[in-house]
Amino acid sequence: MATTLITVAPTGAEVSKRDAPALPVTLDELVVAAKECEAVGASVIHIHIRDDEAKPTLDLGRLKETTRAIREGTGLIVQLSSGGAVTDPEEHRLAVLDAAPDMASCTMGTVNFGDDVFMNRWAFIVELHTRMQSKGIVPEYEIFDLGHLAALERLLNKYGLPAGGHVHVDFVMGVPGGMPGTVEALVACKAALTNLPEGTTFSATGIGRTTLPVLMASLAAGGHLRVGMEDTVTYARSQPVESNAQLVARAASFARLAQRPPMAPADARRLLGIARG
Ligand code: KMH
Ligand code: ZN
């Protein structure tokens, strides 16, 4: 039976603990959230970490400690964010790879990001992709706009397949400045995958109120899912998210209804080409 890869993005770099008290910001909170999310159907965790003041950080020591703790406490695939916060310099974002995660995100182009700019120059993308190839880290290519898929085609044609040989992309939809979180945009992205290697898989996430339409559209289109408090802190109108597991459990229920139940981490490793068992 076909299954659904569910990625949880529990923290992100933008939401503040004050605005969302359930946001996991300490290592202990993150490990608890990871265990709860694994229990209800997640197989990948997309990680941003915070410092002692709950501000986003790319501190390498903390990233290594976090990677170790999630591996000790769960069977989840550890995907570190190389995107960080919009203020993070490129060298710090590249250094994330030195924490030796199973996966790292790799955003395929610059995008307006609310009032900010999330900068991803071509030369930076190439550096990230080729360093991941040499370190055996599997990328998840983050697609904020249709043109990012054309950039990915160019990247793979010029620099070859990623570590593990499998291409997996994540459509991040509904960011103010990126593509909208609509069925039409998702269908356009899916159509553009025909220019990428055969077998390319996709997941999708909708920011804020686009969470549910994007989730349902992705399932209907044969895609996988990403959910979490990085992307939405509202479960329903006037109802704050209680935990990341609440969002994963809802995604898993939709996936079961679609006859594509959650994928086990071991199957996700095989699909994504991750060597570590
Ligand atoms: N926080 C955003 C600026 C990623 O994790 O790779 C970038 C982001 C993408 O979240
Ligand atoms: Zn992220």
Alpha carbon of 146 to ligand 2 centroid (Å):
18
Query: Ligand 1 in contact with 105 (CB < 6 A)?
Result: yes
Residue-level pLDDT at 90: 98
The DSSP secondary structure of 121-153, one letter per residue, reads: -HHHHHHHHHHHHHHTPEEEEEESSTHHHHHHH
Residue-level pLDDT at 1: 85
Query: Ligand 1 in contact with 81 (CB < 6 A)?
Result: yes
Residue-level pLDDT at 277: 60
Residue-level pLDDT at 275: 86
The DSSP secondary structure of 34-101, one letter per residue, reads: HHHHHHTT--EEEE-EE-TTS-EE--HHHHHHHHHHHHHH---EEEE-SS--TT--HHHHHHGGGG--
Query: Ligand 1 in contact with 83 (CB < 6 A)?
Result: yes
Q: Residue 255: how many CB atoms within 10 A of its CB? A: 24
Distances from the Cα of 163 to the Cαs of 121, 132, 274, in angstroms?
21, 7, 8
Residue-level pLDDT at 276: 67
Residue-level pLDDT at 43: 98
Query: Ligand 1 in contact with 82 (CB < 6 A)?
Result: yes
Rounded Cα–Cα distance for residues 126 and 240 (Å):
39
Q: Residue 156: how many CB atoms within 10 A of its CB? A: 18
Rounded Cα–Cα distance for residues 122 and 24 (Å):
32
Alpha carbon of 83 to ligand 1 centroid (Å):
4
- In testing the pocket of ligand 1, which one of 55, 107, 112, 226 has its CB within 8 Å of the most ligand atoms? 107
Rounded Cα–Cα distance for residues 180 and 130 (Å):
30
Do 43 and 252 touch, CB atoms closer than 8 A? Answer: no
The single residue listed with the structure tokens 């609509």 is 182
Residue-level pLDDT at 233: 98
Distances from the Cα of 272 to the Cαs of 4, 225, 265, in angstroms?
13, 14, 10
Query: Ligand 1 in contact with 142 (CB < 6 A)?
Result: yes
Q: What pTM value is reported for the model?
A: 0.98
Alpha carbon of 109 to ligand 2 centroid (Å):
14
pLDDT tens series, the chain, 277 aa: 899 999 999 999 999 999 999 999 999 999 999 999 999 999 999 999 999 999 999 999 999 999 999 999 999 999 999 999 999 999 999 999 999 999 999 999 999 999 999 999 999 999 999 999 999 999 999 999 999 999 999 999 999 999 999 999 999 999 999 999 999 999 999 999 999 999 999 999 999 999 999 999 999 999 999 999 999 999 999 999 999 999 999 999 999 999 999 999 999 999 999 986 6
Name residues whose C-beta falls within 8 Å of residue 157's C-beta, 6 or more positions apart in sequence.
none
Report the nearest-CA residue for atom 4 of ligand 1: 83
Do 205 and 231 touch, CB atoms closer than 8 A? Answer: yes
Report the nearest-CA residue for atom 1 of ligand 1: 85
Residue-level pLDDT at 124: 99
The DSSP secondary structure of 222-259, one letter per residue, reads: T-EEEESTTT-SEEETTEE---HHHHHHHHHHHHHHTT
Atom nearest to 172 CA in ligand 1: 9
Report the nearest-CA residue for atom 8 of ligand 1: 83
